[in-house]
Structure 1
C-alpha cells in the first residue's frame, strides 16, 4: 500500500505527536488490520508517564484494539474483510516456554503496542496466526475489550477455577472491575473488594461485589467477618502498590493464594514471612496479559453478554485528542475505560 495513515506516536514521556506515515507493507504470513477502536490500558498510562518501557520510545502504543482485515499476505490463511481482534503476545513458538504454553516467559516475546507499534493508528500490521475472527453481530467497541477481559480470564484460570471460594480484589478500577465480573462468573462467594473511590465503589457493587470496603483499616475485619475468621481463599492485587500487596497477603487464609496482577514500580520488594508461608502453605502467583486460549475465551464471553461493558465503552476520544484522553484519565474515575475512535464506519 502506498497511501498514508495517521499514527499517534509517543515521542517521549507525556508527549504524543500525530504523524502521517506510510501504511505498513505486509510480508507473507502477516495481515493488515484497519483499526476501529483502541482502548487505553493501565499499562499504556505507565508507558505514557515513562515509568514502563521508556527505552522503547518513540512508539505507537495501544494493544486493546479491534478492527477489520483489509489485506492478507501470502500464506496468511486469513480472509480479507473479516472483523477481528488480535492476540498481542508474539512468542517464538519454538523455545522451552512456548512449547509448554507459557509464551509470556519466551525470551523473544514481543507484545504489539508495547514492544512494537500498536493500535493508536489507522492501520496495524500483525502476524496472521494472532488474528482471531470476531462475529459481525458484536460491536467494535465491545470487541476492543477482548484483550483486557483475556487478562482476567488468564488470572482466573491460573489461580484455579473453584466454586464458592472467598475472593478479595484490591482495586476496582478498570481491570479490578473485570476481575469482579470474572470471579462472579466462576462462582466465587463472597467477593470482597477494597476501593477508596466512591464512584468506582458503586460500580464494583453493581458488578457483583458482595462487599466494598473504602477504609483500608476496616478491610481485615470485614474479611474475617465474611469468612468465619479464616481469611480469603484468593486475593487479587490489581493496583500495583507494595503496601496493598502486603495487605492482600495478610488477608489470606492458611493455604490461600495471592495473585500478583497489578504492576508495581520496578525494583519493588514484598516482605514475606517465610516461616508462616511454609507452615500455612501460602502461595504467590504472578499473572500477566491474556495470551492464547484466554483471548478465545474472552471473545466468547463478551459476544454472549457475560460482561457488563457499559462503563467501559461510554468514554471516547478521537485520535487528534489522544493527549487529552490520557491527561484527563484520573479526573474521570467513573469512566472505567477510555477508547480512541479510529474508524467507527468499519
Structure 2
C-alpha cells in the first residue's frame, strides 16, 4: 500500500529468554483487516510466561505484545467503519466467529482461537495487523498510553461480571500487583464493602491503600483473623486470587465464607496443582469461577471506563522504555518489585 514502509522494527522473541531487535516486513492488511501504527505497548504477566518459555513456546519466533494502542495506518478492502489516523486499540482474542463458544462470547474456548501477541505477532513492533471487527476506537482526548491499558482493564471487567459481585459484598484480594490493584479499583466501583487486600510488598500495600482498600494486611500470619474480624466471623463473600500461587489458591478456600465464591484469576504454572476438600466445597456450597481475559464488549466497556476516569492508571504508565531496550525492560519488569507496569514507546 502506498505510503507504508516495506520494513519495520520489531522485538522478536526467538527463544525463551532471548529477544532480538529485527527489521521485518510490514504486514499488509487483507480484506476486513486493519493495520495499526503502534505507539505504546505494555508488558504484563503473560508476557513473562511467554518470555520464560512457559506459554506459547511452540509459536516462537514471535513478536509478543498484546496491550497496545496507536493509529490506523492502513485499511483493508471492505473496511468502512474506521478512518486513517484514528486512534485505536484492539480486542486481541480472535475466534472463528461461528462456533458455539464464539456465539456466547467465550472466544478463548474456540478451537480455532488465536490471541494477538500471544499466538500470532503482536504489538512489540511498529505495526500490527488485526481484524477490523476487533478494533476498539479510542475516545477523543484519551492519551494513547492510557488506551494501551484497555486490554488489562477489560480482563477485570469480565472478571467482575463472571464473579457476580453485588453491592455490599465483602471482597478479599490475594495479591495487589497491577492486576490485583485493578481488581481492587473495579470492586470499589461495583460497590463491594469491605475490601480486604493481602500484600506483603510494602510499596504495593501502600498503593492498595491509596487506591481505596478498606483493610490492607502485610503479614500473612494476621490475614485470617483480619478477614474474620471484618466479616462478622464468616469469611469473605468473594475471594480473588490474583497472583497464581498454589498456596494462595488453597488459602482462598480457607478464607471464603460458606456459600461464597472463589475467583481464580492468577495464572499459575501449567503443572501446578492446588488441593481442596470436595466435602467442604459441597457442604458449604462454595463456588469456583475462572476468568482470564476480556473480549468483545468487555474491551469497549473498559475503554469507556478509562475515558471517563473511572480507574486510576497513573501508576501504570510511570516506567517507559524504547523498543531498542526491550530486553532491559523485560529484565526490570521481572526483577524490580518497585515497578508496577512497563510500557514500550514506539
TM-score normalised by structure 1 residue count: 0.97
**Which one of the candidate residues 104, 107, 111 is aligned to 1:103?**
107
- Equivalence for 1:85: 89
Matched, 1:10 2:13: yes
Tell me how far 1:3 sits from its aligned partner: 2.0
- Equivalence for 1:31: 34
Question: Using the alignment, how far apart are the partners of 1:117 and 1:321 within structure 2?
Answer: 19
Tell me how far 1:330 sits from its aligned partner: 3.9
Contact 1:260 1:286 in 2 (8 A): yes
Contact 2:261 2:287 in 1 (8 A): yes
Tell me how far 1:308 sits from its aligned partner: 0.9
Question: Using the alignment, how far apart are the partners of 1:187 and 1:178 within structure 2?
Answer: 14
Question: Using the alignment, how far apart are the partners of 1:260 and 1:314 within structure 2?
Answer: 28
Tell me how far 1:208 sits from its aligned partner: 1.1
**Which one of the candidate residues 257, 260, 263 is aligned to 2:264?**
260
Tell me how far 1:335 sits from its aligned partner: 2.6
Tell me how far 1:103 sits from its aligned partner: 1.4
Contact 1:158 1:287 in 2 (8 A): yes
- Equivalence for 2:301: 297
- Equivalence for 1:227: 231
The size of the alignment, in residue pairs, is 342
**Which one of the candidate residues 285, 288, 293 is aligned to 2:289?**
285
Contact 1:316 1:338 in 2 (8 A): yes
How do residues 77-156 of structure 1 correspond to structure 2 at under 5 angstroms? 77=80, 78-156=82-160
Contact 2:105 2:295 in 1 (8 A): no
- Equivalence for 1:162: 166
Question: Using the alignment, how far apart are the partners of 2:281 and 2:251 within structure 1?
Answer: 15
How do residues 328-339 of structure 1 correspond to structure 2 at under 5 angstroms? 328-339=332-343
Structure 2 segments unaligned to the other structure (5+ residues): none
- Equivalence for 1:47: 50
Structure 1 segments unaligned to the other structure (5+ residues): none
Matched, 1:316 2:288: no
Matched, 1:61 2:64: yes
TM-score normalised by structure 2 residue count: 0.97
Question: Using the alignment, how far apart are the partners of 2:122 and 2:104 within structure 1?
Answer: 27
Tell me how far 1:139 sits from its aligned partner: 0.3
- Equivalence for 2:275: 271
Question: Using the alignment, how far apart are the partners of 1:16 and 1:267 within structure 2?
Answer: 26
Question: Using the alignment, how far apart are the partners of 1:44 and 1:62 within structure 2?
Answer: 7
- Equivalence for 2:250: 246
Tell me how far 1:331 sits from its aligned partner: 4.2
Contact 1:70 1:81 in 2 (8 A): yes
